[in-house]
Structures are given as C-alpha cells and as structure tokens.
Structure 1
C-alpha cells in the first residue's frame, strides 16, 4: 500500500511537470511531450492500481488476464492524454472543468474495474453499490482536482516546485483513495475461483514488471523533463543575453559610444523624418553645425582621455539647452549637429546664442580648468536646402565662415559661403598635392649682428610654388594647414630641408651660423617633436647648437606647464629656443624666467613706428632691458629703415632682421648677395 501511494505521488508529480513542459514549448515539441507524458502518467496511474492489487490477499491462487490488463493500461493512457490536452488549452471554464472531470474520472474508474475484471473470478466479484458509486465519485473529484491544479501550475510561477510537490501529494492521495474505496466495494463469495490463475500473469511476475517498468518510465520522464527544463532555462538565458547583445549592437550602430548622442547614421534618419514632416505639414526647421574652437590644442597637450571627458561634458551641455523633441548628434571628433523645429530664423539664433554661452563657460576636467568656444553654422529648411546633403553642406560652410570671422559665434548660411567653402576644399587638396610632388620651397632671411652688421645666421621661411597661383606666402595657406593637421608633415619637411641646407653651408665654412626654424602651435604640441628633431640632426650630422627653434609667445603661454616640458626636452637636446613675436601675448615674468629660451624676438608691430612713436621706443627699451637681465639675446625683426636700425642699435638690440638688411631669398641668391654686398658672414 505504501509503494502504491508513492507511485501515485510520482505519477501525479510527473503529470504536473509534463503539463508545464507541454505549455512552455513549441507546438511541434508539445505533441511529443503530450505523447510521452500520456504514457508516463497512464503507466503511473495503472501501476498504482496493480501495486495496490498486490497488497490484496485471498486464500486462493490469483492471476491476471493479459488482454484485459493491457486494456486497462490503454484506458489509463487515453485518460491521461485527455487530461494533459485539456490543461494546456488557453481557457478552462467551470463547465469545461466539470465535463473533463467526469470524462477522466470515468476513464480512471473504467481502468480500475477493467483491471479487477482481469482476474476472471468465478463467480463474479460483487460490488457494494454505495461504495462503488463513492469510488467513481472520488475518481471524478480527483480528476477534477488534478486537472484544475495542473492548469494552474502549468506556468513557472514563483515557488512552483514546493507548490507542485504539495499538489502531487493531494492528487496521489485522491487517486489512492479511489482505488482503495473501489477495493472496499468489492466482495468475493466463498468458494470463488480465479480463472486467470493458470493462464494469466502471476502476481509475483506482475509485481516485478510493474514496479521496475513504472519506476523506470517515471524516472526517465522526470529526468528528461528536468534536463529539458534546464536546457530551456539555459536557452532562455542565452536568448536574453542575445537580446541584450542585439540591443547593445543597435545602440552602437545608432549611438555615439563616447557621448551617447545619436551618431551620423541616426542623425541621417532623424533628418529624413524632419524633411518628410516639413514637406507634409509645410513647416521649417534649422540644422546647426557646431565645431569646437581650441579643442585640438587641449586634446594634443593633455591627452585624448581629457579630450574625451571634455567632449562628454560638451554633449551634456548641448542636450541640456535644447528641447526634448530636438536632436543633438555627434558626427565625430569635435563636430556636433543640432536639429530644431523653428517658425522663424530668429528662433534658431536664440538657440545658437544659448549654446555658444553654455559651451563657452569654463570646464573643470581632472583638476584642469579648460575653456573652449563654439563656431556654429546654421542652415534653414527650405530656404537653404531641400535635401539632407544640401542642408549639411551649407551649415558646414556657414560654420567655416564663423571660424574665419573670429570664432565663438554663429552665422546663417549665405550663397557666397559656398564659394569660400569650395575654395578652401580646393586649397586642402592642393596642399596634399604640394606635399606629394615637392612644391614647397624655403627662402632664407639673414640675421645680422647689430654692432658690426655681420651675418650670424638665417631664418628659414616657407614658400609654396603653386602651379597656377604662383609663389604663395605662409599667410595664404598656413591656417588651413593647421586646421587640417597637414602642418605636421609640412613642418617635418621644413625642418628636414633647413637642416640639409645648413649641412651644405657648414661644409662651405659657415660653421658659426644658426638656422632658425619656426614651429606652429600644432607642431609644438605634437608628441614626437623632440624625437623628430634629434633624428633630423643625426641624419645631417649637425651639432644641436646650430639649430634654433622659434615658438611664438602665445603658443608657449597657452599651456605653460606642457610648454615647459617640451622646451626643456629640446634644451636638453642642445637646441636653442627663441620666443617669437614677444610683446603680443600675456607672458608672466615668472614663467618667462623659467622657460629655457636663449632669445627673444620683438614683435615687428613695435618696430614699424619706432622712430615716430615714443611709446613703442619705451616698450622696446623695456623688452631689451628685461631680456638682458635674463641673459637672453634680443632680436628685432621688421627693420626697414636706417632710422629704425640706428635706434635699435642704440637701445641695445643684439640682432637685427628685416628688408633693409636682406629679404627672404633662395640659397643661391643669398650667396650672390653676400658676395655683392658688404655683408660679413660671421665665421666665414
């Protein structure tokens, strides 16, 4: 009896677990689970009946007819299949539950009494009508309870395992109760004979087969269900992981990884949506192209990590100052685009002014107080373009106009800007062509010792022999070269060519000359400057003291600590340092004292009106006194008259440079001038 109740419990638990598996899987797999579950549950219920029969004792030999026994098993399987099918339907009304309980209960009762009939008793078994009816009623009630419980527990709700075990105990006791009530209803007259005792299966063999097969089937069914549940759990986890990964991939495809703003792809989609809406509803919108002024210098001097943090802060300020329905996107680098719906261009001007003020406020990144500004170009739909490409190009042209007009502001697009943008694009292409095909030239302007007018060195000045525009001065192309980064390879070429020419002059005997080479702000912040200078000196076997690198005062003072590091590295290398355009910046005397420079060049603006303006003379005198007190050589450039020359000598300038003394010229022309004029080449 204990084993029969255990079998009933196992069969009930297996049925509940199978119901959950059928409900949670695909339709095709559900059919397989329904078939397997029906067999396992039917065998379990049938086995409970025959194990219970083994507990029954009569003082005669007993056996079971094979045909009826198998028929009772088939009835149990069919009843189980119906139950599993019913609990996996979308709905289970009370009427459906009642009908299903009656049908399944009748099936279980039929299985029980068919199994009893398999003994083929003569005379036949007599049944107490009241207990017989009670056993059928218990079968119907147990079936109803089983179907309702299985229907409720088919979903994996919280604490489902404990609930399922408790429900299986109730169902097992109900099924056992039906069996033993039916056995109590049966009575065997004195002298009854079991007709299947000789031709049927003996109880011993039946017990062995039933117990082994039942436990094996139930164990396999449960193990398969558990393994499938674990596999489904892992599959579900994998599916969730894939969903998260897909979501991240979508974000990466449409979102800038650094600032989390929409990227170019998503911007194009938003822009297309705004264009369709504007066409449909006859509205206007503005496209703002934003470029940060001063970002490259920060990025190069303090590193990309600080630059990235700065871009994140800028993005936050942009998002804060636009409406939720507007779009702010990052195209890459320090370029941003903002899309806003407007009624009038003045609305865009208000937002642009707000953005300029917000971005212009100081930033504090890793204890660095940083300041950048915004150059903004604005195009309006439909006046400035009817396609996404036209609006972007025209806003970009307006942004470049803002940069050319002093930066830190905004401009609306005008048709003339396209011409300027086209010219600038052509200039960039021409610069690349010039680098590749050797169109650059160096002219050299002599530097004279003030007391005796002898040449003590030259300054290398860049020129561009343009194939159609002729000889161009640096003012015509340096700004574009710096903005595009082309100034770095151009500067490398200048240094290499100047050192090559210096090697040639030293071989001719001009061993005391110094070659002065200008460094742009972009070159100065390049991390490979010192290594490149050292490699170039080594290439041409020049002593470091034969080279002087000129850095403007504003460049040196832009980030004093970084400048100190770079200049110190160059000074340790043995190269002389000159502070160019002195007097135009805001130098701190404390920093000037610390800079490892050996020369100050007075800005030509003070020399121009030197003879007529007493203030300029006083400034030059003060600079000379300051420089000499710091043991610096003082150079005056832009000397164009004899009066200027005489006055600068009297003020104590050490070196003079200007058109009066010699224009920038090619090396061969410089040599001819030296022979024809009264110049004394120092050291020759």
Structure 2
C-alpha cells in the first residue's frame, strides 16, 4: 500500500521562493544602467548649469566692467567740464575756485579731492580743504612699477596709471590743463579712489556669494582669489585703466545650491528611481517566483489530494476486503447484513468452514494453502447467484449472504457449495482434496441483528463439523440453548475456581490379588448451586473449550499434592497418587516445571507421583510434548496412558514415550464378560503390557465377574465402583487406616 507523504514534503518552502541568481543579476544590471543614465544626466545638467552660471557670471562681470567705465567716463567728463568752467572765468582765484568746486564731494563721492596747481607744480587750492595732494615726486608706486618724476605739459585730459599707496589706497590721478589766452595757466587735478568705486559697484551689482577681485595679472589689489576648488569665476580686462588690469568676479556655491540644484535633484531622483526600480523588480521577481511556487504547490496539493483519495479508497477497500482473495471481509459482510436486515425481505447466511486447512498448510506450506483458499473461492462463485455476497471471514471460513432465498433454496445452494469442492485441486503439482462444513442461519425475527446472525451461522457450521457425516446444518434454538448452557457453565466453573468451590475426590486403585489400596486417582468434582454434581468429564471439557484448563490443572496438581503430603505426614498414604493432565495443559511450556516445583514444595518423593495423559498429548506437537515428558520422568515422576485403546496410534505411544502404566478404557470393561470382542482386546492389551513390563490398570470395574475375568487374563490392578466410589481425602484416610488395622489384626 503506498504511504501518504507528509504535506510538508510536498509544499514549496520559503527558501525556494527566493529570487534566483540570474534574476538578481538582471536587477543589478538594470540598476547599474539607471545609475549610469542618472550620472550621465547629472553630468550633462551640471555642465549646462556651469555653462549657464558662467554665462550669467560673464554678464555680471561685463556689467561691473561697464559700470566702472561709466563711472570713470562720468568723472572724466566732470573734470573736463570743471576745467572748461574755470577756463571761462578767465582767472582762477580762491573765490572762483570755491564757487566752482563747492559740493563736489557730495556729487562725486569717489573723488578723494580736486586741486589746482600752477605750471610749477605748486598746489594752490584744494577741495575739500583738508585734502593734501601728494607731490608727484613722492614715492608713489605706479602699477606695474613706474614712478612719475614729472608731469609733462598736457594739452588734454590725461590719467595716470593706477597707484597703490602704502596704506592700501588705490587711485588714479586725472589732470586737465586750463588755458588762459592760449597758454597753459595751470592744471586741474583730481584724485579718483578706484578701490572705493569698485567696492561700491560690487555692492550694487554683485550678490552676496559673489566676490570681485582687481589684479594686475599677477597679484590681487582688491579682494582675494578663491583658495578652494569648485568656485566659478570670470575675468575681463579693464581697458579704461592704464596698464594690464584684470577684473575677476567669482562666486562660492551656496549649500542650498549644492543640494537643491537641478543636477543634484536629477542625481537624487536617479538614486530614488534606482532604489524604487530595484525594489519593484525584486518584489516582482518574488511575486513571479511566488506565483510559480504557488502554482507548483497547487499542482502538488491537487496531486496529493488525488493520491490521498486513492490511498483512502485503497484503505477503504483493504478495510472491507480480504487481502488474499479480495472478497469482502467480516466487517463488510456485517455492513451488508445491517442494511439488508433493515428491509423486510428474507435473508439467508451460510458459513462455509474448510476442512483440514491447517494440516494442508503444515504439509504443503502456506503458499499452497493460500492458493487453495483462492481456488475454493473461485469455485464458490461459479455456483452462487449473481446477487449473493461471498465473504471471507477468517483463515478457513467463508460466508455467503443472499437476500430473497427460501429455506429449501438455501439448503440446495449449500449442497451445491459443498459438492463443488469434491473435485481435487491441482496446485503446484499437488493433488489436494478438501471439503467444508456448512452452517445456515435464517432470519427468524425482524429484530435480529447482523452480529447475531453471523454468530448463528458460525455455531451451525461448528455443529456440522462436529457431526462429521452431516455437512450441512441449519441453526436452531437448541444450539443457542446449548451455547447458553455452556456459557453459564463456563462462568460457574470460573467462579468456582476463583472462590475455591471445587472439590477434589480420590478413587482408589486396588491390587486384584490382595484387594488392598495401592494407589489413588485424583478427580475434580463440583456441586452446582442447583445441587447437581458436575462430573469430572464435563468440567474438563468445558475448561478445555473455554481456556480455563491451565488454571484448573494448576489447581488440581496443587490441591492433590497438598492432600497427599498430608496423608504422608499422617502415615496413611497409598503408594502412588495419579493426577490427570489434559493435552491443553501441554500448550504451557512450563507444565513440567510447575509439577516438579509443586512436588518439591510439598516434599513428596517423585516416584510416588504419576501423571495420567490423554491421547491428545501424543498427537499435537510431538517434539515439545516429548521434551516435557522426558523432564518429568527424569525427575522421577512416572507416566500413565489414560483410556488406552481408544486412539489411533496407542502402540506407537508405548514405543516413543517413557510410559510406565497403561489404563484400559472403561468402554472395553463395561460389557464384559458378555462381549467377546472386548475380551479379546483386553487380553491383547494385558499380554502386550506384560511383555513390555508395564503396569496395567482396568477402569470402570462394576461386578465381581469383571474382576475375576480380568484377574484370570493377568490384569493385577483395577478401579471402579465395585471397590470404591470416589471419596474425599478424609474418607480415603479413614479407609486406609482401616486397611492398615486389618493387616495388623486380621479376622480369625
């Protein structure tokens, strides 16, 4: 039968739902492509941003440059205008100077001051008054490294190079000649603060993060160049200033520009997209694999469900059918009967018990025996009607249930079933012949239950087997009464054993020559509550059939030896005590041990104990029983064959078993001396026993004629009611005491 695999072995586990290596590699490749694209876009946007910022910075630098040039031109125009104004006055004195230059520091804040000097370079007037122009010959450094030592005669506005004072002031000097009457009357000079102008322009035109630097191409004079990388700058030449002066504007990137600029947003967006795509692809792969695993799991579950249904169907079939013949078993038959008995139609149940199947199994092997059962079932099917149910209910038993069959039809059907086995079976080169006993049970009441009907058919089959000559027996109430009586007797005997209600009687064995008691046979008796005495044969038979024989046998051995030990102590014991042992007791492998231990426990000489055996001991399990008997005789206990002459192989027993005594069955004694056949049998048994040096005891002697005949043919020992009826231990001891007294004081 296929086993059902555990569910955990069929369902895909969580580990198998993990993404595969190629899927993970694909996700990595996609993420790398997105990152590369993001980086490319980032670089492109960054480049465009830098270009745009450079363009904007260039615009701003140009604006600053134009602003500087405009301011310089504005100041130059003013100086020219002032020179022309002074020239128109015709003469320059302090009043005209003050009138012409009053408020100039407010109108032109980048002029450090204006002054008037004559042709001899002598400063005559200044505005503001505190302004002191430096002499031209004072060591003013002129960028890049030129000194003015004199001022040439100027015919128009001239500007000097940028001058850097030691105090850091940066300025240029403007000079414009003033003519009176066609000659140079003097010079109008002005000191223009370049540094202040540039700083003011940077404040006006530049953002806080932008810085302005004025340099000569080598060193900065205004501002500082950036000392870090990443700063954006733009440089232009200031042509309005004499010399190679450069104007540089640079800006520091602000933190919000770094983190919230378009390139950075593109880069961050690319990272976010990469992460989202990776997660989405991973979840998609897990979902795909999960769906695939789910599909596989569903398939496996469906497959397992189918397998389980098949197994359940097979288990159901196995539970209701015989594995060898595939016929319905007892459970299936009872289920059918339960349904059939619910209707009002007649039901017939036949029990077919095959004969000698165990012997066939022992002789030919179980393979042949099983094949015989299979072939017998095939033959049964050939003679049964289609609607009949054939079931195998045990090793050697079949049952047939058929609805709507009359009693006459049932008996005819039973005979057909019995006759179909009359032909030999040919199995593995063996011709095997078997038969069957058939019991029939009818539905005699509407409240009959299935288990009762099965029991009735089984009881009838057992009755048919016991009869032997009648192979078909129908169940009747008498059989049930017998079974009930047997059950009651079994319960009573069991209770009697448990409550110690059994009694042990002793029947003396006498020497026919001296009429003295030489031995006793222990017999179990029991008086029922009704007052009727139950014989030994009935008690033993019931115990054998109900499984009580071992307990009963132990009780008999123990009780008999206890009484005999007491007789020995009282010095009024016979020479030997005989105890009957049933063949069923030999099924207990410890029988010999129990008997030997009991003999030892009661301190009885083993030679004074005799075990009487029935023919069953010599038929069943010869090797085991012979071993038990050898143990008994080795310990000193003697053996006797009870009911000698009634079996099939009595002579063989004498040859193969260590027997000391044979007891002629009472069936050969009761018709003496009238029966010549019984006389011949008794003579043969006595003669054979004498030749084999065996002791012979005749059972059931009832008359003096029987006694004399037995003594004449050489039988020396007997027991029966003619001498003594079975008696209690106390009665036996009294009889033995009287016998001993008679020997001491014989009658005169």
TM-score category of the 2 structures, normalised to the smaller one: 0.5 to 0.7
CA contact 2:521–2:577 (8 Å) conserved in 1: yes
Superposed counterparts of 1:85-484, under 5 Å: 200=266, 209=275, 213=279, 216-217=282-283, 220-221=286-287, 224=290, 250=316, 254=320, 264-276=330-342, 279=344, 282=345, 284-289=346-351, 316=374, 319-323=377-381, 326-327=388-389, 337-341=399-403, 343-353=405-415, 376-381=438-443, 386-388=448-450, 391-392=453-454, 394-396=456-458, 398-399=460-461, 401-402=463-464, 405=467, 409-484=471-546
Inter-partner Cα distance in structure 2 for 1:390 and 1:265: 14
1:171-217 Cα distance to aligned partner (Å, 9 max, x none): xxxxxxxxxxxxxxxxxxxxxxxxx9786459985896588557644
Q: Partners of 1:528 and 1:508 in 2: how far apart?
A: 31
**In 1, Cα distance between the equivalents of 2:368 and 2:627?**
23
Q: Structure 1 residues 662 and 676, CA, compared in 2 at 3 Å: closer, same or farther?
A: same
Contact 1:519 1:550 in 2 (8 A): yes
| Structure 2 counterparts to residues 59-70 of structure 1, below 5 A | none
Indicate if the aligned counterparts of 1:554 and 1:586 stay in contact, CA closer than 8 A: no
Does the 8 A contact of 2:698 with 2:718 survive in 1?
yes
Q: Tell me the distance in 2 between the aligned counterparts of 1:560 and 1:322.
A: 36
RMSD: 5.3
Number of corresponding residues: 506
SS at match of 1:518: strand
Larger radius of gyration: 2
- 1:532 corresponds, among 594, 598, 617, to 594
Change (3 A) 1:274 1:261: same
TM-score (norm 2): 0.55
Aligned to 1:610: 672
Gaps of 5+ in 1: 1-23, 64-195
Does the 8 Å CA contact 1:47/1:214 hold for their aligned counterparts?
A: no
8 Å Cα contact 2:520/2:577 also seen in 1 = yes
Structure 2 distance, partners of 1:199, 1:232, is 47
1:628 corresponds to: 690
Asked if structure 1 preserves the Cα contact closer than 8 Å seen for 2:42 and 2:266, the reply is no
1:537-568 Cα shifts (integer Å, max 9, x gaps)? 23323233222111123542355444323322
CA displacement at 1:316 relative to structure 2: 4.2
Determine the C-alpha separation between the residues in 1 that align with 2:285 and 2:522. 93
The aligned residue for residue 108 of structure 2 is none
Question: After alignment, is 596-605 or 538-547 more displaced?
Answer: 538-547
Whether 2:738 is the aligned partner of 1:660: answer: no
Q: What is the CA distance between 1:467 and its match in structure 2?
A: 1.0
For residue 577 of structure 1, give the secondary structure of its aligned residue in structure 2.
Answer: strand
Q: Residues 390-413 of structure 1, C-alpha deviation per residue, up to 9 Å, x if partnerless?
A: 534543553464466458733112
The change in CA–CA distance for 1:669 and 1:199 in structure 2 (over 3 A counts) is closer
Distance, in Å, in 2 between the alignment partners of 1:483 and 1:388 is 25
- Per mean C-alpha deviation after superposition, the further-off stretch among 627-636 and 315-324 is 315-324
Aligned to 1:496: 558
Deviation at 1:581, TM superposition (A): 1.1
Q: Is contact 1:375–1:407 with CA below 8 Å preserved after alignment?
A: no
Instruction: Write the distance in 1 (CA, Å) between the matches of 2:421 and 2:620.
Output: 19
2-structure distance, mates of 1:447, 1:371: 47
Query: Do 2:31 and 2:278's aligned partners in 1 also have CA atoms closer than 8 Å?
Result: no
Cα shift at 1:436: 2.3
State how far apart, in whole Å, the 2-side matches of 1:646 and 1:608 are: 14
Quick one: distance in 2 between partners of 1:486 and 1:509? Answer: 34
The Cα of 1:601 is off from its aligned counterpart by 0.9
User: Are the equivalent residues in 2 in contact too, given 1:552–1:579 (CA < 8 A)?
Assistant: yes
Indicate whether 1:520 and 2:582 are aligned: yes
Following superposition, the deviation at residue 515 of structure 1 comes to 1.4
Q: Deviations over 1:241-272 (max 9, x none)?
A: 86677567656765678997655543331112
CA deviation after TM superposition for structure 1 residue 584, in Å:
1.2
**2:543 aligned with 1:543, yes or no?**
no
Q: Shift in Å at residue 446 of structure 1?
A: 0.7
Which one of 731, 739, 743 corresponds to residue 669 of structure 1?
731
Unaligned 5+ residue runs, structure 2? 1-9, 46-261
Higher helix share: 1
> Cα–Cα, structure 1 residues 617 and 522, in superposed 2: closer, same or farther, change >3 Å?
same
More strand by share: 2
Deviation, structure 1 residue 320: 3.6
Distance in 2 separating the partners of 1:515 and 1:625: 25
